[in-house]
C-alpha cells in the first residue's frame, strides 16, 4: 500500500520544476494555468528568481503546489499511471495540494486559494513581530512545559510535530528568542530560529483563518476520491464540510505530521510513501518517523519514471 504526500513551504528553490516544464506538455500546461489563474508570471519567478522574492509566502505557496501538481499530471497523463493510493497527505500547504490531487478542489481554485493564504498569513502579524524556531532533541512534554513556563498566555506554542526529536514552535518574536536562549534548561538539545516571516500555525493566524473561510465559500468542493489525512487531527477526512473545518483549524493549529505518518502506516497499511514535488523534506521526516519504510521523492522526469515502475 502506498500514500501520496506533498511538501509544504520551505521546499522552494529557483529553477524548481523547469525540467518537467520543458519535458512534458501536460506539465507545461499546469504552469501556464497557474500563471493565468494568478494573473502574473509565477513560472518566470520560479525559474529565474530572485530567490528572496520566490521565498515570500505569497509566492512560495503557489509555486510549491504547482510543481507538485505538474509532477502528478506527468505520472497520470504522460506515464499513464493508474494511481490508487491508500490515502493522500500534505504538510501544511501540502494539504491543499493533497486535496487537489484527490479531486476535492480544482487546481485553478487551489492555486489562487494558497496565494491568498500566503497573503493573509503575512498580513495577520506585522513583519518582525512573529517568528518560529525548530527544537532539536525535543520531547513533547518538555516543549509543552517550556511554552507554558515562558509564555503562559500563549505567546509561544508548538506549531509542528514533525518527527521524533523535532518540534517547531511559533509565536511572538521576543518570546521565541527567549525560548531559544533557555531551551537547554528544559532538556532541549538545540534550538534554531527559522527563516520565516510570520508565526504560522499559532493563535496569531486566526485572522488569516477567518479570511480563508470567506474564500472557501467562493469555490466548489467535492468528496475526496482518496482519504485525506488531516494535519489537525492526523485522521482521515473525505466530505467537503469536514475538510473545510480541518483546513480552517489547520491555519492556527499544530501540524501533527508524526502522528499522521503513524496513522498511515499502522491503520491503513501504508509501507511506501511517494513525495511528489520539489525537494525531499518530507522524505527526511518520514524516515525519522518510521524505520524500514520505502520512501521515494519525485520532481524530475527520471524520478517520476522510477515511481511509476515501483508502483505499477
39 noted as active-site residue: no
Catalytic entry in 92, 102, 246, 260: 92
Question: What CA–CA distance (Å, rounded) separates 34 from 77?
Answer: 18
Among the listed residues 11, 91, 170, 201, the single catalytic one is: 201
Q: Measure the CA–CA gap between 15 and 145, rounded to whole angstroms.
A: 42
- Residue 290 contacts residue 257 (beta carbons within 8 Å): no
Dist. CA 146–CA 162, nearest whole Å: 18
Q: How far apart are CA 251 and CA 117, in angstroms?
A: 9
Residue 72 dihedral angles phi and psi, to the nearest 5°? -65, -45
Residue 2 DSSP label: E
d(CA 150, CA 235): 31
SS3 190: strand
DSSP state of 14: T
All cell numbers assigned to 154: 500563549
Residue 92 among the catalytic residues = yes
Using CA atoms, how far residue 304 sits from 62, 127, 134, 207, in Å, is 21, 38, 31, 39
Active site residues: 92, 201
Amino acid at each position: 500500500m502506498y500514500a501520496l504526500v506533498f511538501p509544504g513551504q520551505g521546499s522552494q528553490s529557483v529553477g524548481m520544476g523547469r525540467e518537467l516544464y520543458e519535458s512534458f506538455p501536460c506539465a507545461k500546461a499546469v504552469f501556464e494555468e497557474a500563471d493565468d489563474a494568478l494573473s502574473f508570471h509565477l513560472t518566470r519567478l520560479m525559474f529565474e528568481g530572485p530567490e528572496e522574492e520566490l521565498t515570500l509566502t505569497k509566492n512560495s505557496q503557489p509555486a510549491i503546489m504547482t510543481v507538485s501538481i505538474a509532477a502528478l499530471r506527468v505520472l497520470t497523463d504522460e506515464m499513464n499511471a493508474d494511481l490508487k493510493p491508500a490515502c493522500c497527505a500534505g504538510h501544511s500547504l501540502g494539504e491543499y495540494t493533497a486535496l487537489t490531487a484527490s479531486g476535492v478542489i480544482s487546481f485553478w481554485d487551489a492555486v489562487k486559494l494558497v496565494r491568498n493564504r500566503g497573503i493573509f498569513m503575512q498580513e495577520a502579524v506585522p513583519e518582525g513581530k512573529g517568528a518560529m524556531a525548530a527544537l532539536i532533541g525535543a520531547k513533547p512534554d518538555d516543549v509543552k512545559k517550556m511554552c507554558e513556563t515562558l509564555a503562559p498566555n500563549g505567546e509561544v506554542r508548538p506549531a509542528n510535530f514533525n518527527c521524533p526529536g523535532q518540534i517547531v514552535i511559533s509565536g511572538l518574536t521576543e518570546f521565541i528568542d527567549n525560548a531559544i536562549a533557555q531551551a537547554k534548561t528544559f532538556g532541549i538539545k538545540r534550538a534554531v530560529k527559522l527563516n520565516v516571516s510570520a508565526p504560522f500555525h499559532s493563535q496569531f493566524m486566526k485572522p488569516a483563518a477567518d479570511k480563508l473561510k470567506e474564500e472557501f465559500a467562493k469555490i466548489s468542493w467535492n468528496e475526496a476520491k482518496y482519504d485525506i489525512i488531516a494535519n489537525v487531527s492526523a485522521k482521515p477526512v473525505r466530505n467537503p464540510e469536514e475538510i473545510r473545518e480541518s483546513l480552517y483549524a489547520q491555519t492556527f493549529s499544530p501540524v501533527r505530521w508524526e502522528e499522521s505518518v503513524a496513522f498511515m502506516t499502522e491503520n491503513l497499511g501504508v509501507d511506501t510513501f511517494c513525495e511528489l514535488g520539489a525537494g525531499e523534506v518530507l522524505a527526511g521526516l518520514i524516515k525519522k518517523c518510521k524505520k524500514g519504510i520505502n520512501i521515494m521523492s519525485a520532481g524530475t522526469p527520471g524520478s517520476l519514471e522510477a515511481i511509476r515502475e515501483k508502483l505499477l
